[in-house]
Every structure is written in C-alpha cells, then in structure tokens.
Structure 1
C-alpha cells in the first residue's frame, strides 16, 4: 500500500441518514453512561476515598470519534455535528429532567460542568480542525 486513505463516497442518502441515526443513538447511550458514572469514587488502601471522574476524558474522546465518523457521512459541518447536538440534548435533558421526574442525574458540581465542556470540545474539535 502507498499509505493513502481511501474514503468511500458511493453511498446513498438513506445510508448516510442511517449512519447518522446510529451515531446519534451511540451519543445518547454514551451521555447516559457518562452522567451515571461521573460520580465514581475509588477507595484507597488506607480507607480514604478519591473521586475519579474518568468519564470527562471519555466524553471528549468519544464525541471526537462520533463527529469524525459523522464527517465521513456528510462534508457539511452542521450535519456532521448531529451526534453532538444529540449528546448536548441528552445532557440537558438529564440536567433539567429533575423538574419532571424528581431524580437528579446531573449533579450541581464542577465535574458536571467539566463533563459538558469536555463533550462540547471533543465534538467541535474535528469540525474546526479540518481534515
């Protein structure tokens, strides 16, 4: 091989829509898991506890992957950002859903703010960085 990337472009509009739908479903599942496991604590050998919000890093990296993959389906940045829109919508639904359900899924702490900004940054990065 000569090291060139081969990008397939002979797909139909329906395949592109289907790809974006699956990426959006993945975005919803990921934001749910990231919010649920944001409050992870690890018990240290001495009995102390340490907060380990690893889902902040996962949000950045996974949203980057979702947006980069969506760019393969559409060169239009607004369309390629659909999984990011879904991720943000899911985050906001979990944040404001407490009014409807009474269950607070997104805590009112700095980790939640960092998760939001990490998810946004990861999703926007492939759009502004270019190819």
Structure 2
C-alpha cells in the first residue's frame, strides 16, 4: 500500500446528479436538526443553566463534509456547492416559516446568526481551500 488516494471518475452524469440530490437531502435534514437543537440548555448542579449551542460547530463540520463529498461528484465549484445551497434554502425556509405557520422555528438571537455563518463557512471552506 503506497498510501496513494484513488478517486473514481468513471460515473455517469445521472449518478453524479443522484449523489448531489442525496447530499442535498442530508443537508436539509441536518439544518432542521441544527435549528431544533440550537436552543439546547444544560442544567448544572445547583440549578444553574448554561446554553450549549453545539449545533453551530456541527453545522460547520457537517457542511464541510457535504461539500468535500460533493467535490468528488463534480469538479466545478458551483455544482459542488449544491448541498450548501440546499442547506441555505432550508435555513431561510425555517427562518421565514413564522410568516406561514405563525410559529417561530428559528430564534432571533446571536446563536442563529452564528449558525448561519458557521454553516456557510463550513460549506465554502473546501471550495476555497483548493485541495
């Protein structure tokens, strides 16, 4: 074993589209879970409560994985960013859901802004890193 990385490139266009669709579905599920658990609080001994917005870090890491995986299906950055577009569309849909449903799904606080920035940064990082 030489440690050489082998990347398969003999896939059809339909396989590439299917791969990007499944990555986009994963991005939509991820953004829903990240928004739902963004307001997580942990109660410490003595009743002291602390906010633990761990989904901000997860958004960065998971979107980075999605984009790196999408780069295996397409060398063009615009197509490799399709899961990021889906994540952003899901975030904006959840953000504007209050207009349609009357229920506020995304909080109006700094954690929401950090989640948005972390998700976008994680999705863009593999595209600008160049590797």
TM-score band, normalised by the shorter chain?
Answer: over 0.9
State the aligned residue count.
131
Aligned to 2:61: 61
For residue 46 of structure 1, report the CA deviation from its aligned partner.
1.0
In structure 1, the gaps of 5 or more residues are none
In structure 2, the gaps of 5 or more residues are none
Aligned to 2:77: 77
Task: Spell out, residue by residue over 1:112-131, the C-alpha distance to the aligned partner (whole angstroms, 9 max, x if none).
Answer: 00000000000000000011
Taking structure 1 as the reference length, the TM-score comes to 0.99
Aligned to 1:13: 13
Task: Spell out, residue by residue over 1:86-129, the C-alpha distance to the aligned partner (whole angstroms, 9 max, x if none).
Answer: 00000000001100000111100000000000000000000000
For the pair 1:102 / 2:102, whether they are aligned, the reply is yes
Task: Spell out, residue by residue over 1:18-59, the C-alpha distance to the aligned partner (whole angstroms, 9 max, x if none).
Answer: 000000000000000000000000000111100000000000
Taking structure 2 as the reference length, the TM-score comes to 0.99
State the secondary structure of the residue aligned to 2:50. strand
Aligned to 1:22: 22
